């Protein structure tokens, strides 16, 4: 007699959806650095229980997107430019190397996926949806990292993804930055499509330098 196995996928839990909604709010700039996150207010806005909210907040704390201080509660971390600089320095080490390797290794099938992600970013860049821009850019880089031939580069980058996305959201909050990012990412794609390792590294470096400058400007303006 064959064993009975229920393969039905369970619906997403309230806690998972709460994490995603709060992450979306953070990346979209709804909560400013240093702001307190009032649990009663968040429960009312999200329509969830306090236990579900607290589980979600603990997940976001693990991603370093919020901080939970004893006797004070959850709040947005106050970011310094030194911390942002450290993130961009690591991005340079990982993303420039990944872009160069990807230009040599990516298959036609994965190149098509990279092009599709660039098109998705183009659509997001022309919208007012900051979260869509951040997520589309993250997908573009995820494909590059997944096809660089070094899973450790991808693994380390994934551990920084939440904080990278936070600063990406800040930099693209500047007027015109999303469109500039589109031009730079298109140059990265074209170099990879041409199999030009040197050009891919150069384009990735140029993009990161300009993204870092935009993030600094946004932080100075309090964006």
- Residues of the chain with pLDDT > 90: what percent? 59
DSSP 126: T
Its pTM stands at 0.81
CATH number for the domain spanning 189: value is: 1.20.120.530
Among 75, 96, 126, the domain-final residue is: 75
Q: Residue 159 has which token pair?
A: 């551990």
d(CA 28, CA 24) in angstroms, rounded, equals 6
Q: What are phi and psi of 222, to 5 degrees?
A: 75, 25
Among 91-105, 161-175, 179-193, where is mean pLDDT lowest? Answer: 161-175
6 belongs to a structural domain: no
Among 23, 42, 75, the domain-final residue is: 75
pLDDT digits (tens, 9 = 90+) for 56-69: 999 999 888 899 98
Residue 9: what pLDDT? 45
CATH number for the domain spanning 28: value is: 1.10.10.10
- How many Cβ atoms sit within 10 Å of the Cβ of residue 80? 11
pLDDT digits (tens, 9 = 90+) for 141-153: 999 999 999 999 9
Number of domains forming the structure of the chain? 2
For residue 193, the surrounding DSSP H or E stretch is: helix 177-193
Domain span at residue 203 reads: 81-221
Q: Is residue 159 a contact partner of residue 18, using CB atoms and an 8 Å limit?
A: no
pLDDT digits (tens, 9 = 90+) for 16-26: 889 888 988 88
2 belongs to a structural domain: no
**pLDDT at residue 86 greater than cutoff 90:** yes
Which residues pair with residue 68 across a beta bridge?
74
**pLDDT at residue 5 greater than cutoff 70:** no
| Statement to judge: residues 99 and 196 lie in one domain | yes
The beta strands (E) that lie in the chain are given as 67-69, 73-75
């Amino acid at each position: 007699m064959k064993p009975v196995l229920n393969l039905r996928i369970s619906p997403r839990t309230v806690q998972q959806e709460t994490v995603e909604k709060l992450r979306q709010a953070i990346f979209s700039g709804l909560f400013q650095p240093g702001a307190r996150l009032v649990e009663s207010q968040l429960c009312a806005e999200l329509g969830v229980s306090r236990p579900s909210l607290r589980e979600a907040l603990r997940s976001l704390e693990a991603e370093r997107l919020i901080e939970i201080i004893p006797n004070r509660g959850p709040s947005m971390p106050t970011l310094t430019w030194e911390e942002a600089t450290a993130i961009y320095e690591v991005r340079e080490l990982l993303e420039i190397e990944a872009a160069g390797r990807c230009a040599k290794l990516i298959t036609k099938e994965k190149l098509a996926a990279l092009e599709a992600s660039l098109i998705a970013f183009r659509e997001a860049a022309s919208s007012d949806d900051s979260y869509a821009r951040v997520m589309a850019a993250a997908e573009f880089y995820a494909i590059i990292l997944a096809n660089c031939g070094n899973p450790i580069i991808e693994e380390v980058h994934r551990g920084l993804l939440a904080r990278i996305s936070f600063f990406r959201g800040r930099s693209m909050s500047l007027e015109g930055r999303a469109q500039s990012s589109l031009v730079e990412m298109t140059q990265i794609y074209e170099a990879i499509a041409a199999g030009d390792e040197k050009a891919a590294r150069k384009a990735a470096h140029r993009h990161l330098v300009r993204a870092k400058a935009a993030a600094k400007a946004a932080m100075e303006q309090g964006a």
